[in-house]
Amino acid sequence: MLIEFCKKNELVITNTWFQQEMRRRYTWKTPGDKERYQIDYILVKQRYRNGVKCCKSYPGADAYTDHSLVAMRMFVRLKEVRRVRRRRKWDLERLRRNNLPFQNKVEGAVKNNDGMEVNQRWLELRGVVLDAAQSEIGYERKETIRKPWVTKDMINKMKERKEWKSKNTEEGKQRYRQLNNELRRETDKAKEEWWS
* Distance between CA atoms of residues 183 and 161, nearest Å: 9
Convert the pLDDT of each residue in 25-51 to its tens digit.
989 988 888 899 999 999 999 999 999
84 domain-assigned: no
* Distance between CA atoms of residues 85 and 121, nearest Å: 30
Give Cβ neighbours of residue 147 (< 8 Å, ≥ 6 apart): 191
160 and 125 share one domain: no
69 and 18 share one domain: yes
Q: What is the pLDDT of residue 145?
A: 61
Range 140-146 average pLDDT: 66
Residue 57 burial (C-beta neighbours within 10 Å; 0-12, 13-18, 19+) = buried
How many structural domains compose the chain? 3
Q: Whole-model pTM?
A: 0.41
In this model, does residue 64 exceed pLDDT 90? no
What is the span of the domain harbouring residue 41?
A: 2-74
**Averaged confidence pLDDT in the chain:** 86
185 domain-assigned: yes
* Distance between CA atoms of residues 129 and 102, nearest Å: 9
Q: What is the pLDDT of residue 9?
A: 94
Range of 82-86, 88-92, 188-192 with top mean pLDDT:
188-192
79 domain-assigned: no
- Complete DSSP assignment for 50-104: GGEEEEEEETT---SSSBPEEEEEE---PPPPPPPPPPP-B-HHHHHH--HHHHH
65 and 126 share one domain: no
Convert the pLDDT of each residue in 98-122 to its tens digit.
788 888 888 887 776 667 788 888 8
49 and 102 share one domain: no
86 domain-assigned: no
180 and 128 share one domain: no
Query: What's the sign of the alpha-carbon dihedral 170, 174, 179, 184?
Result: positive
For residue 178, give the nearest of 168, 190, 166, 165 by alpha carbon: 165
Q: What is the pLDDT of residue 142?
A: 61
Q: What is the pLDDT of residue 97?
A: 82
145 domain-assigned: no
